[in-house]
Amino acid sequence: LSKKVEMTNWEKGHYINYAKMSENLGIVRSRLNRPLTYAEKILYSHLDDPEGQDIERGTSYLKLRPDRVACQDATAQMAIMQFMSAGMPSVATPTTVHCDHLIEAQIGGVKDLERAKGINKEVYDFLSTSCAKYNIGFWKPGSGIIHQIILENYAFPGGLMIGTDSHTPNGGGLGMAAIGVGGADAVDVMANLPWELKAPKVIGVKLTGQMSGWTSPKDIILKVAGILTVKGGTGAIIEYHGPGTEGLSCTGMGTICNMGAEIGATTSVFPFNDRMYDYLAATKRSAIGDFARDYAKELREDEGAEYDQLVEINLSELEPHINGPFTPDLATPISKWKQAVKDNKWPDDLKVGLIGSCTNSSYEDMSRAASIAEDAMSHGVKANAIFTVTPGSEQIRATIARDGQLKTFEEFGGMVLANACGPCIGQWDRQDVKKGEPNSIISSYNRNFTGRNDANPATHSFVTSPDLVVAMTIAGTLNFNPLTDTLKDKDGKEFMLKPPTGDGLPSKGYDPGEDTFQAPPEDRSSVSVAVSPTSDRLQLLSPFKAWDGKDAVDLPILIKAQGKTTTDHISMAGPWLKYRGHLDNISNNMLIGAINADNGEANKIKNFTTGEYGAVPAVARDYKAKGIQWVVVGDWNYGEGSSREHAALEPRHLGGLAIITRSFARIHETNLKKQGMLPLTFTNPEDYDKIEPEDKIDLLCTELAVGKSFPMRVHKKSGETLEIPLSHTFNEGQIEWFKHGSALNMMAKKNA
Ligand code: F3S
């Protein structure tokens, strides 16, 4: 295991460390003394402190050292801005950035890409120069979708990666634990802080039998989603195992892991097998495949490993599935499909079929889909609905262009879109139906929540395999089952579509296509990061001020929020996402969704200095301009929802000192600490009721200490003063974050 094998062909000097992983596992094994699942092996072999770490699935918080970080272009903006403010010369963990989310599908790949390069120029320039400066691999617009590029170039068996995108788990197709996180977590790992994860439970999915005919790997996850539902995987890793895994292609396993995000799973993994080896070899990484074979014993579950829950699927009996509309866990097997369309009155006229996306755009997917299109064309019929194709990467596009599938799709009536997310993330200038008009579309994507693809809440979006997308597109109606129904050929004669066929890997090897990678230059010192001071989308971050060493007295309550206050209430998404790289501009959405306990209204609070009512961000800005720090009082589970770091950055930016709640969602609580704020909770949750919006608060910051209650004095308008005990969860290291003004300030000082 002491071989020196590089993690990827695109970087020098970053080696796969199976020796260290094996050593860590040995330590953990001797402590736990029980068989381990594969998911556990990957995590525990990446522990920061294998000797001292508490390990209990579902309970302890693991401190981990991931091998890699990957960011897509939307989330990378703020992550890199934050990293820059740490003042480090280079990322501490190998990192890549991928431009895929900002390209709108309109008239076809080439033109759409050109237009996106113009519209997003300042974002791309910033990302490309900051990546060059801080030693980050940069994949330009047009290179492909992050998860496909990761599978093709960076994922390796047994590795641990975090990515700022929910479908990062796609890397599980190569036996990697690839986990989707918020930007703040990515910044930590880039800046060499250990990454914290609640030790996941492990749900085993045992596969037996073998697939055939119209059934494809996608149907495994469509079925699993139906069984476990959108919440069923929360806090757990889904671990596939059993003899049925051997027959699946590597990219097919990627598809299954990718869509595990739809059931809330932390990630999904497959054990290392020969199909992964073949894929590594086909993508010019045989050395990694050979090295993985040396370590193969640890790249699967131990004999007798126990799962917290076990699901079994016999692939020989698995039917093709179609899931949706509006939720990915409403799973219908094809045998019940036509009846379901009828019973639910789903619009049966199919408007659009879409294949590709990070979930289903492999060579195998494209080949199988093309085989169906060809079969149809041999009978003189083509697509009977709009049909779009999104290749997952430039390599896939170039390879299917060379091997003919792309031409088949075009002849079939398809529009080939840019190698990017496109309609999957709503980047779709859809013209064929009006807003509000009920209609059906079917895709090989993963998510189908209301409005996701085209912002039309009446669009019924179904997800399935690319095979069924093509079959349905030929039929032009949802009222079709290719396994049992006939179609009419050009002369009106009936025929049945043949089940799809296609190679898992290109027999002539992959064609890399255009070079879309920008490696960091040797000499990075002369690179300057491009951010225009007049940009409204990007703004460099200045480090937050350190704590002044004093108690804070007489602080106003900006807002006493009542009821649910999720990260969406604190930092709304939608149109605001445009400003995600510009902290000052996006701060104009701070807490605008939170309900003011005083008047039951959103975004209407009293400015105590003027007595006038105003919007929350405006009042906060006024206080900030007047040098007045403030606090927010919140209800139960404040900050639940996503891990969006803006929800913690914004209050800090606009001059907040503390958020005092009945309880916090843990990730948001940690994010607040990272930004140098004080997340505090009422020791007696009913004390929330004693607080009135016009009270003034003293926070005795000088008394902040691990495990000790935090004293708060409340000055009532009547002149009365209350002492209300608060609790906190700061540890020693986190108190240092507060003192330095933020976790990054502390890292910056350490690295200075
Ligand atoms: Fe992109 Fe859709 Fe995947 S947004 S990363 S193609 S889920």
Q: Judge contact between 364 and 504, C-beta under 8 A.
A: yes
Please indicate, yes or no, whether residues 82 and 170 belong to a single structural domain of this protein.
yes
Nearest CA to ligand 1 atom 2: 424
* CA 449 – ligand 1 centroid, Å: 13
* Cα separation, 425 vs 102, whole angstroms: 9
DSSP 8-state class, residue 209: S
Q: What confidence score (pLDDT) does residue 575 get?
A: 80
Question: 699-745 pLDDT, tens per residue?
Answer: 999 999 999 999 999 999 999 999 999 999 999 989 999 999 999 99
* Cα separation, 210 vs 221, whole angstroms: 15
**Is the beta carbon of 425 within 6 A of some atom in ligand 1?**
yes
Structural domain ending residue among the three candidates 316, 351, 382: 316
Detail the DSSP E strand segments found in 15-91. 61-64, 68-72
* CA 111 – ligand 1 centroid, Å: 20
Q: Judge contact between 436 and 251, C-beta under 8 A.
A: no
**Is the beta carbon of 218 within 6 A of some atom in ligand 1?**
no
Please indicate, yes or no, whether residues 604 and 571 belong to a single structural domain of this protein.
yes
Residue 233 lies in a domain: yes
**Is the beta carbon of 330 within 6 A of some atom in ligand 1?**
no
Residue 327: what residue type?
T
| Residue 644 is among the residues annotated as catalytic for this protein | yes
Give the CATH number, domain containing residue 665: 3.20.19.10
Please indicate, yes or no, whether residues 298 and 375 belong to a single structural domain of this protein.
no
- Find the catalytic residue in 73, 100, 112, 185: 100
Please indicate, yes or no, whether residues 38 and 133 belong to a single structural domain of this protein.
yes
The residue-averaged pLDDT of 570-590 equals 92
Residue 518 lies in a domain: no
Dihedrals phi, psi of 633, to nearest 5 degrees: -110, 130
- Find the catalytic residue in 143, 443, 587, 642: 642
> Which CA distances in Å does 642 have to 164, 168, 182?
12, 15, 8
Nearest CA to ligand 1 atom 1: 421
**Is the beta carbon of 357 within 6 A of some atom in ligand 1?**
yes
Number of domains in the chain: 3
Please indicate, yes or no, whether residues 272 and 247 belong to a single structural domain of this protein.
yes
Please indicate, yes or no, whether residues 355 and 256 belong to a single structural domain of this protein.
no
Q: What confidence score (pLDDT) does residue 717 get?
A: 93
> What are the start-end ranges of the H helices in 506-556?
none
**Is the beta carbon of 424 within 6 A of some atom in ligand 1?**
yes
Question: 398-432 pLDDT, tens per residue?
Answer: 999 999 999 999 999 999 999 999 999 888 999 99
Q: What confidence score (pLDDT) does residue 148 get?
A: 97
Q: What confidence score (pLDDT) does residue 577 get?
A: 82
* CA 98 – ligand 1 centroid, Å: 12
What are the residues whose beta carbons fall under 8 Å from the beta carbon of 379, sequence distance 6 or more? 487, 489, 490, 495
Please indicate, yes or no, whether residues 350 and 305 belong to a single structural domain of this protein.
no
Nearest CA to ligand 1 atom 5: 358
* Cα separation, 131 vs 356, whole angstroms: 28
Q: Judge contact between 16 and 5, C-beta under 8 A.
A: yes
Q: What confidence score (pLDDT) does residue 674 get?
A: 94
Please indicate, yes or no, whether residues 312 and 342 belong to a single structural domain of this protein.
no
Structure tokens at 382: 């083509």
Q: Is 246 helix (H, G, I), strand (E, B) or coil?
A: helix
Query: Sign of the CA dihedral 333, 336, 337, 342?
Result: negative
Question: 510-544 pLDDT, tens per residue?
Answer: 999 999 999 999 999 999 999 989 999 999 999 99
Q: Judge contact between 355 and 388, C-beta under 8 A.
A: yes
Residue 511 lies in a domain: no
The best mutation among 359, 424, 448, 449 to test binding of ligand 1, ranked by most ligand atoms within 8 Å of the C-beta, falls on: 424
Cis peptide before 94 (omega within 30 of 0): no
Q: Is 715 helix (H, G, I), strand (E, B) or coil?
A: strand
Dihedrals phi, psi of 96, to nearest 5 degrees: -130, 155
* CA 169 – ligand 1 centroid, Å: 12
- Find the catalytic residue in 73, 165, 185, 188: 165
| Residue 515 is among the residues annotated as catalytic for this protein | no
Dihedrals phi, psi of 679, to nearest 5 degrees: -85, 120
- The alpha carbon of 79 is separated from its chain's Cα centroid by a whole number of angstroms, namely 14
Detail the DSSP E strand segments found in 391-435. 414-416
Judge whether residue 568 has pLDDT over 90.
Answer: no
Q: Among 743, 725, 732, which Cα is nearest to 670's?
A: 743
Atom of ligand 1 nearest to the CA of 100: 1
Structural domain ending residue among the three candidates 291, 316, 341: 316
**Is the beta carbon of 483 within 6 A of some atom in ligand 1?**
no
Max Cα-Cα span within the chain: 91
* CA 410 – ligand 1 centroid, Å: 23
* CA 462 – ligand 1 centroid, Å: 15
**Is the beta carbon of 255 within 6 A of some atom in ligand 1?**
no
Q: Are strands 678-682 and 350-356 parallel, antiparallel or unpaired?
A: unpaired
* CA 358 – ligand 1 centroid, Å: 5
The best mutation among 73, 103, 104, 147 to test binding of ligand 1, ranked by most ligand atoms within 8 Å of the C-beta, falls on: 147
* CA 622 – ligand 1 centroid, Å: 40
Structural domain ending residue among the three candidates 263, 289, 316: 316
> What are the start-end ranges of the H helices in 613-731?
616-625, 646-653, 666-674
| Percent over 70 (pLDDT), the chain | 100
Judge whether residue 458 has pLDDT over 80.
Answer: yes
Give the CATH number, domain containing residue 261: 3.30.499.10
* CA 147 – ligand 1 centroid, Å: 8
Name the residue with tokens 């089940």.
499
Q: Judge contact between 210 and 73, C-beta under 8 A.
A: no
Q: What confidence score (pLDDT) does residue 86 get?
A: 86
Q: Among 416, 418, 263, which Cα is nearest to 330's?
A: 263
In which band, very low, low, confident or very high, does the pLDDT at 231 lie, cut at 50, 70 and 90?
Answer: confident
* Cα separation, 313 vs 641, whole angstroms: 32
Name the residue with tokens 């490696």.
519
Question: 476-495 pLDDT, tens per residue?
Answer: 999 999 999 999 999 999 99
What are the residues whose beta carbons fall under 8 Å from the beta carbon of 548, sequence distance 6 or more? none
Nearest CA to ligand 1 atom 4: 425
In which band, very low, low, confident or very high, does the pLDDT at 569 lie, cut at 50, 70 and 90?
Answer: very high
| Residue 165 is among the residues annotated as catalytic for this protein | yes
Please indicate, yes or no, whether residues 303 and 332 belong to a single structural domain of this protein.
no
Judge whether residue 644 has pLDDT over 90.
Answer: no
Q: Among 466, 426, 531, which Cα is nearest to 130's?
A: 531
**Is the beta carbon of 446 within 6 A of some atom in ligand 1?**
yes
Cis peptide before 466 (omega within 30 of 0): no
Atom of ligand 1 nearest to the CA of 390: 6
DSSP 8-state class, residue 64: E
Structure tokens at 395: 């390599």
Atom of ligand 1 nearest to the CA of 165: 5
Residue 10 lies in a domain: no
Segment (H or E) for 287: helix 286-294
| Residue 642 is among the residues annotated as catalytic for this protein | yes
The best mutation among 393, 425, 452 to test binding of ligand 1, ranked by most ligand atoms within 8 Å of the C-beta, falls on: 425
Residue 462 lies in a domain: yes
Q: Is the pTM of this model over 0.80?
A: yes
* Cα separation, 362 vs 444, whole angstroms: 12
Please indicate, yes or no, whether residues 216 and 141 belong to a single structural domain of this protein.
yes
* Cα separation, 2 vs 742, whole angstroms: 39
Please indicate, yes or no, whether residues 152 and 137 belong to a single structural domain of this protein.
yes
Judge whether residue 87 has pLDDT over 90.
Answer: no
Nearest CA to ligand 1 atom 3: 358
The best mutation among 165, 221, 355, 443 to test binding of ligand 1, ranked by most ligand atoms within 8 Å of the C-beta, falls on: 165
Assign residue 135 a region (left: φ > 0; alpha: ψ between -120 and 50; beta: otherwise). left
**Is the beta carbon of 98 within 6 A of some atom in ligand 1?**
no
Length of the chain: 752
Q: Among 570, 535, 572, which Cα is nearest to 659's?
A: 570
* CA 452 – ligand 1 centroid, Å: 11
Cβ count near 439 (within 10 Å): 19
Q: What confidence score (pLDDT) does residue 303 get?
A: 96
* Cα separation, 740 vs 85, whole angstroms: 13
Structure tokens at 90: 């280079």
* Cα separation, 646 vs 629, whole angstroms: 19
What is the Cβ-side half-sphere exposure of residue 125, based on CA atoms within 13 angstroms? 13
**Is the beta carbon of 165 within 6 A of some atom in ligand 1?**
yes
* CA 423 – ligand 1 centroid, Å: 9
The whole-chain average pLDDT of the chain stands at: 96
Report the range of poorest mean pLDDT among 77-86, 144-153, 550-559.
77-86
* Cα separation, 591 vs 586, whole angstroms: 11
Residue 121: what residue type?
K
Please indicate, yes or no, whether residues 364 and 477 belong to a single structural domain of this protein.
yes
**Is the beta carbon of 164 within 6 A of some atom in ligand 1?**
no
* Cα separation, 255 vs 594, whole angstroms: 38
Question: 648-700 pLDDT, tens per residue?
Answer: 999 999 999 999 999 998 889 999 999 999 999 999 999 999 999 999 999 99
Name the residue with tokens 């409340």.
714
**Is the beta carbon of 146 within 6 A of some atom in ligand 1?**
yes
In which band, very low, low, confident or very high, does the pLDDT at 559 lie, cut at 50, 70 and 90?
Answer: very high
Per the DSSP assignment, residues forming a β-bridge with 698 are 713
* Cα separation, 249 vs 237, whole angstroms: 21
What are the residues whose beta carbons fall under 8 Å from the beta carbon of 698, sequence distance 6 or more? 551, 552, 553, 554, 555, 712, 713, 714, 715
* Cα separation, 292 vs 295, whole angstroms: 5
Q: What confidence score (pLDDT) does residue 293 get?
A: 98
**Is the beta carbon of 167 within 6 A of some atom in ligand 1?**
yes
Residue 2 lies in a domain: no
What b-and-e string marks burial along 714-734, b requiring 16 or more CB atoms within 10 Å of the CB?
bbeeeeeeeebebebebeeeb
The best mutation among 99, 103, 146, 167 to test binding of ligand 1, ranked by most ligand atoms within 8 Å of the C-beta, falls on: 167
* CA 354 – ligand 1 centroid, Å: 13
Atom of ligand 1 nearest to the CA of 72: 5
**Is the beta carbon of 421 within 6 A of some atom in ligand 1?**
yes
**Is the beta carbon of 145 within 6 A of some atom in ligand 1?**
yes
Residue 527 lies in a domain: no
The residue-averaged pLDDT of 146-153 equals 98
* CA 716 – ligand 1 centroid, Å: 51
Residue 153: what residue type?
N
Q: Among 414, 417, 175, which Cα is nearest to 279's?
A: 175
Q: Judge contact between 520 and 137, C-beta under 8 A.
A: yes
- Find the catalytic residue in 644, 646, 728, 740: 644
The domain of 331 spans 320-495
- Find the catalytic residue in 46, 57, 98, 101: 101
